[in-house]
Amino acid sequence: MTKLLIVESPSKAKTIQKYLGKDFRVVASVGHIRDLPKSNKAAIDVPAGFVPHYEVVKGKEKIISEIKALAKKSEEVLLATDPDREGEAIAWHVQEAAGLKNPRRVVFYEITKEAVNIALEHPRKIDTNLREAQEARRVLDRLVGYDLSGLVWKKVRYGLSAGRVQSPALRIIMEREREIRAFKPVTFWTIKANLEDKDKHSNEWLCSKESTDKKEVEKILEKGKKGSWKVIDIKETKVARAPRAPFITSTLQQTASSRLGLAPSRTMSFAQKLYEAGHITYMRTDSTNLGALARKDIEKLIKTKYGENYFESHTFTKKSKNAQEAHEAIRPTHMDVEYAGITDGEKKLYQLIWQRTIGSQMKSAEVMRTKVIANVDTECQPFWLNGSRVIFDGWLKADPMSASEDVILPKFLSGDLLKLIDINSEEKQTEPPARYSEAGLIKELEKRGIGRPSTYASIIKTLDDRGYVDKINKALFPTDTGEVVSSFLEEHFSTYISDSFTAEMENELDDIANGERTYKKTLADFYKPFTEVVKSKEKAEKITNLGEAPNKEKCPICEANMIIKLGKSGKFLSCEKFPECHGARTIDGKELEGPKDTGELCPKCSKGNLVTREGKFGMFTACSRFPKCKFVKKDEEQEKANSTGVECPLCQKGFLSERRGRFGIFYSCSNYPDCKYAIKAKPTGEKCKLCGALMMDGTKTIPERCSDKSCANHNPHKLDKIK
């Protein structure tokens, strides 16, 4: 009989199967096999002690059946999902769903033949503490998300959301935005002199003082033009640039963002593929440690590739006191492989990891920094010329992108005369603090103890998906919706979205993982006071009025005062007499055309008239009593032109038509709003062989896949792996 090894990824299964041969059968759960139901009422039994009620993910029934059948034929069942809390939870769910008896748990921190075989020699039981820590996070996030989101729906706008960790992240972005708005710039001047040395080489020298006094600036310029210039001092300082620690999850995301322009979610996706293909160690880790075998391989490579004098062993302080389960830094599994990966993104990320790993065990770079000081006379501010040169490149040899562009200065002697070519001043203003980039926000979240390595990417993605932030030139700008939601939460739930509370909750989850706290007590201590606060806010005033209109704008219809309101597309100005008057303007004061009465009675409610409105994607005709009546008149010609001819699988009355929404083109039922079926890509008309849902068209980079997100066939990169 063979042994059954269960992982969560088909690509990982394929890699491991090659290493183990015929004695093992390696299969994949294809991610989570069970999850909480969408309905919150059925998800968690709070009175019973926060007992979660899981259900099998749609489309995974066939996989569970396959695992059951193979387990009966196997002499041993091994669960080898990812080596973190989520992986521990997936292993437990597989055991429960498939009814496995006494399965053993193994973990692979790297997918190499040697590491896999060593791991198989040390099986263990499923770690209940790790599994409960993940379950506590999942349940906590569900309870907080539902309670907070429900209140935000009532008090701000329907369809918005608030989460336990995303809300503190949004608050941090808003705090920076308020700093920027409150910032008062100060005018100052910089002075530069273009001076020529004895060898006829000219350089731009900078005055050592930035002045806020225009008269002082003019005085320096006058003296500079009349006086004679000479070198008065030369200072040279030898500086050592120490190598950086190998990557952990947060530093990998930060560096990939700043150097490669990758969003954290893309970075983790590429890293996952590199890990599953056996190219790098596990990518979710807080540890900067390198194993003994890895160190030997790195030493050998450095001495061979760069020379004996480049190697120097380094150990680095653990980045986090709560370093998680993965016990090594992110590093290549084979040091002699400098380039690896399938896509360009994977190759660039691998090279980044390789360079940082090799560089971490090399000698410090030695840089000579030079400052030459010149002056006109003793009463004038001195002028500086800075430069540097690398004496020994050290670790920069392996990681050249970390080297700054060096300015090599000519040889100067104290007393050398200089000739003035030009001197001028430039007026500037002090600048406010910069907005967070994705890399900057991850660094800030890590600094404040908010979230953990596995959550940083999802936090930022959620803020973007919810429309709470916009990324412009790498900077994260809070949207109007994000600002209103954050302000509401800061006013009513300041404790629960504070740094200290959020970080302490993360520590408590770590304590559960370490066996130092219990699941039930942790949730009970949090949830009872939290629900009391939520209940106390039920009577809070609804946020419909965000303040008076700027510049006392008047309604274009009735001349009444206008107020700021939040719409789906952001802030706008509305007549204070709404709904009696529909006068509206953009936030900049431009008049918005109100609904025009067509004279037709609404066929659905028979109470309002049909009016023509301007929406985000053009004109449409709907009931004047919206939102009480949501009737929308169909444009028959446009509907016909947009129809795919594929029958709606939900109502079987309409056909799927192309539409454009906030996130681009999607396809929905022509029978909307009576039927709200929608998918994100064009339907092919064929049905999924696994779950029976509609299949969607593919593109150059994405093959056809199932329209049901919960189906295993939905992930395009795993289709050819599923049997």
Helix, strand, or coil here: 551? helix
* Amino acid in position 685: G
* Amino acid in position 359: G
Whether 282 is a known active-site residue: answer yes
Compute the distance between CA of residue 683 and CA of residue 647 in angstroms, rounded to an integer: 10
Cα dihedral angle (111, 113, 118, 123), rounded to 10 degrees? Answer: 60
Helix, strand, or coil here: 128? helix
Phi, psi dihedral angles at 230 (to 5 degrees): -155, 160
Burial environment of residue 667 by CB neighbours within 10 A (0 to 12, 13 to 18, 19 or more): buried
Measured at the CA of 495, the angle between CA 492 and CA 499, to 5 degrees, comes to 130
Tokens 């300082």 label which residue? 237
Structure tokens at 74: 């196997």
Number of H helices, E strands in the chain: 18, 31
Residue among 282, 306, 310, 496 flagged as catalytic: 282
Phi, psi dihedral angles at 535 (to 5 degrees): -65, -40
Structure tokens at 104: 């053993």
The answer to whether 387 and 408 are in contact (CB under 8 A) is: yes
The answer to whether 442 and 455 are in contact (CB under 8 A) is: no
Compute the distance between CA of residue 405 and CA of residue 301 in angstroms, rounded to an integer: 27
Question: Using the 8-state DSSP alphabet, how is residue 675 labeled?
Answer: -
Cα atoms in the Cβ-side hemisphere of radius 13 Å centred on 359: 26
Residues in a beta bridge with 362:
311
Radius of gyration of the chain (CA): 32
The pairs formed by 242-245 with CB atoms below 8 angstroms and a separation of 24 or more are 242/364, 243/314, 243/359, 243/360, 243/361, 243/362, 243/363, 243/364, 243/394, 243/395, 244/356, 244/359, 244/360, 244/395, 244/399, 244/402, 245/288, 245/316, 245/319, 245/329, 245/360
End-to-end CA distance of the chain: 22
Phi, psi dihedral angles at 264 (to 5 degrees): -55, -40
Compute the distance between CA of residue 597 and CA of residue 599 in angstroms, rounded to an integer: 6
Cα distances (Å, whole numbers) of residue 187 to 331, 382, 429, 543: 48, 21, 4, 39
Compute the distance between CA of residue 251 and CA of residue 245 in angstroms, rounded to an integer: 9
Burial environment of residue 114 by CB neighbours within 10 A (0 to 12, 13 to 18, 19 or more): exposed
Q: Which residues are catalytic?
A: 282
